[in-house]
Structure 1
């Protein structure tokens, strides 16, 4: 396979991935948060603790927008800000107890949709999917 063909397959894969991700996450978020706030919470849940700059980079947001959304999430008691003990200017963000509970509910909905999608696959198919995910994670997505 040449690089152009590999790239075209990658584009097709990422398009399909986004579509399926949307199907899995549709209506899984709490009505207490906006879509962007949910995406921030989701990122924090799988990467915590994170800095506001991490969120800014991952979400492709401006720093003022990131700060505003973090303030809203903090006011809703969904996140906690922790100051670095060595550098008080540096902040880390993690989910609060309420934020963890909200994200656990969302992830439970997403998990049930995922399990429904793969319920008829054989053990071998599931092993292949897990292997493929591991390859993507180690070869392409790790920095």
Structure 2
């Protein structure tokens, strides 16, 4: 397999994973945008986070990030905390409600994933695990 085929396979895989995330967003009572969902996932593993870091991660401008954060704050999913060292700087954390929501999303995602792999043999599962380990170590 050449590098172009590897790229094509990678894009196909990432598109499927992205579609699954989009489907989860649509199934929520909160009706998040993909940007908001990605922000909540990011916060789950990287808190507290400065607003500028969110802009860099999501590749969006400060005004757009502020708008998305405001929407999430109105739903009581995040908390804004001013920096003690620099009052101009604000750090973002998930609220308890936001943390529960992201955990529920991950549980739903796990359920869908386990449903997809229920007919796969243990040998194939081991092969998938090895392939994922290679992807993570070589590409990320």
- What is the TM-score normalised by the length of structure 1? 0.77
Structure 2, gaps ≥5 residues long: none
Asked if 1:41 is matched to 2:40, the reply is yes
2:96 matched residue in structure 1? 97
Work out the CA distance in 1 between the residues paired with 2:125 and 2:103. Answer: 24
1:48 is displaced (CA, Å) by 2.9
Aligned equivalents of 1:38 and 1:27: distance in 2? 10
Q: 1:71 to 1:137 in 2, by over 3 A?
A: same
Distance 1:129 1:76, change over 3 A: same
Instruction: Please give the alpha-carbon distance, in whole angstroms, between the structure 1 residues aligned to 2:81 and 2:133.
Output: 32
Q: Is the 8 A contact 1:52 1:92 kept in 2?
A: yes
Distance 1:34 1:120, change over 3 A: same
**CA shift for structure 1 position 66:** 0.4
Deviations 1:38-79, CA, capped at 9 Å, x for gaps: 332122123333222232223232210101111221232211
Deviation at 1:110, TM superposition (A): 1.5
In structure 1, C-alpha distance between the alignment counterparts of 2:21 and 2:76, rounded to whole Å = 27
Question: For 1:41 and 1:105, how far apart are their aligned partners in 2?
Answer: 12
Q: Structure 1 residues 106, 10: CA separation in 2 closer, same or farther (over 3 Å shift)?
A: closer
Once the two structures are superposed, residues 64-112 of structure 1 have per-residue CA deviations (whole angstroms, 9 ceiling, x without a partner) of: 0101111221232211223444444333222111111122222222111
TM-score normalised by structure 2 residue count = 0.78
1:133 counterpart residue number: 132
Kindly indicate whether structure 1 or structure 2 has the higher relative contact order, using CA contacts under 8 Å at least 6 residues apart: 1
How big is the alpha-carbon RMSD for the aligned residues of Structure 1 and Structure 2? Answer: 2.5
Q: 1:64/1:10 Cα in 2 relative to 1: closer, same or farther (>3 Å)?
A: same
